[in-house]
Amino acid sequence: MDSREKEAGRYLGYGKHAIDEKTWSLVKNCFQELDRTVKSRIVYRIFELETPDEGRVKIGGLNITSRNLAKNMKGCEKGVILGATLGIEADMLMRRYSLTDMSKAVVLQACGAAMLEEFLDSWQKEYAEEAKKEGYYLRPRFSPGYGDFDISCQESILRMLDSAKKIGLTMTDGYMLTPTKSVTAVIGMSREHVPCHKKGCEECAKTDCIYRR
């Protein structure tokens, strides 16, 4: 079982428990369909970044109130704002199976989430190498809706990226991204290499979450 299959299992709620053979086979099948179908896209911009105090981050024209984000960005001079999506093709595939095979539709949701993370991890690893050539080190991605980073900031981020025009990424009135397998995030760029920064579940205080690693 590869890393993205394990991640899909986590999204399905298996946690550290072994995935049964039937579900594992379905996971592999869903990834094969997604690999044939999706067209992953990303758009990003780099802005000057400031952390005027422990509860605020200023990046480009965006002024964010968030102690969690400010902690993550402490010492950063620049920031990457990004939007990424698996595209409408993934939504169409999940919608089709929701009408004919609900179990597969659920697994597709999990696999789509894992595939999006894999896509972003791969992109960030490549971009980190480019940034290092200019003397910058990247911090972990931090997305609206995580911690006290208000999800309403998605609206400003999408506007700054012109994401609707560039990759077809928009949002609903409730700040949910569409296509559904999409994400926005901020990545700090620092002159200092800080390898001890944690990300994701390891940093989250919600220890009873069923999706926790």
What is the distance between the alpha carbons of residues 119 and 164, in angstroms, rounded to a whole number? 20
The pLDDT tens digits for 30-61 are: 999 999 999 999 999 999 999 998 899 999 98
- 88 found inside a domain: yes
- 206 found inside a domain: no
160-180: average pLDDT: 97
The pLDDT tens digits for 72-131 are: 999 999 999 999 999 999 999 999 999 999 999 999 999 999 999 999 999 999 999 999
- 23 found inside a domain: yes
Q: What is the CATH number of the domain that holds 135?
A: 3.40.109.40
Given the structure tokens 């949701």, which residue do they identify? 109
Single pTM value for the model: 0.87
- Per-residue confidence band for 206, with pLDDT thresholds at 50, 70 and 90: very low
- 49 found inside a domain: yes
- 210 found inside a domain: no
Do residues 87 and 168 make contact, with C-beta atoms less than 8 angstroms apart? yes
Q: Which of 194, 155, 163, 181 is nearest to 64 (CA)?
A: 155
Which H helix or E strand runs over 45? strand 41-53
- 9 found inside a domain: yes
Structurally, how many domains does the chain consist of? 1
- 104 found inside a domain: yes
- 213 found inside a domain: no
Do residues 137 and 128 make contact, with C-beta atoms less than 8 angstroms apart? yes
Task: State the residue range of the domain holding 185.
Answer: 3-194
